[in-house]
């Protein structure tokens, strides 16, 4: 089935220089394995094509059912140098949560 990430996760994003960070949190404990399975670095890099110009790094926090992504070279230079409206990556969380994923598992919402 096709789901939108927003249905199974929430997120918060911010900046460190020109790197955006997006923390993605499973809405229920049982959704966390779906995040680790489908939200790979490659998948996220592809999703942010044209926004994230560098590499994507993923870190796991199973204790709180969350993943942390670093999106390098994503903020137009970052800080006061950036010409972006969202120079601090505050809405990268929204961009992430809009992702559509085809999953093998069946979920009832």
Residues lying near another protein in the complex (CB under 8 A) are found at 10-12, 14-17, 21, 23, 25, 27, 47-51, 59-66, 68, 70, 76, 78-81, 83-86, 90-91, 93-95, 97-98
Q: How far is the CB of 69 from another protein (least distance, A)?
A: 10
Of the two residues 18 and 38, which places its CB atom closer to another protein in the complex? Answer: 18
> How many Å from the N-terminal Cα to the C-terminal Cα in the chain?
12
Of the two residues 26 and 38, which places its CB atom closer to another protein in the complex? Answer: 26
Q: How far is the CB of 18 from another protein (least distance, A)?
A: 8
Of the two residues 56 and 70, which places its CB atom closer to another protein in the complex? Answer: 70
Q: How far is the CB of 81 from another protein (least distance, A)?
A: 5
Per-state percent for the chain, helix, strand, coil, to nearest 5: 30, 30, 40
Among candidate residues 50, 37, 5, the one with its CA nearest the CA of residue 23? 5
- Measured CA to CA, the distance from residue 97 to residue 109 in angstroms comes to 16
Among candidate residues 61, 70, 85, 80, the one with its CA nearest the CA of residue 13? 70
């Amino acid at each position: 089935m096709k789901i939108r990430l927003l249905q199974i996760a929430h997120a918060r994003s911010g900046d460190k220089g020109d790197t955006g960070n997006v923390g993605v949190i499973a809405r229920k404990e049982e959704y966390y394995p779906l995040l680790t399975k489908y939200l790979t670095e490659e998948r996220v890099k592809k999703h942010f094509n044209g926004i994230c110009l560098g590499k994507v790094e993923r870190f796991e926090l199973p204790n709180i059912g969350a993943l942390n992504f670093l999106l390098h070279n994503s903020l137009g230079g970052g800080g006061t140098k950036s010409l972006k409206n969202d120079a601090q990556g505050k809405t990268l969380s929204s961009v992430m949560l809009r992702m559509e994923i085809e999953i093998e598992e069946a979920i009832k919402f």
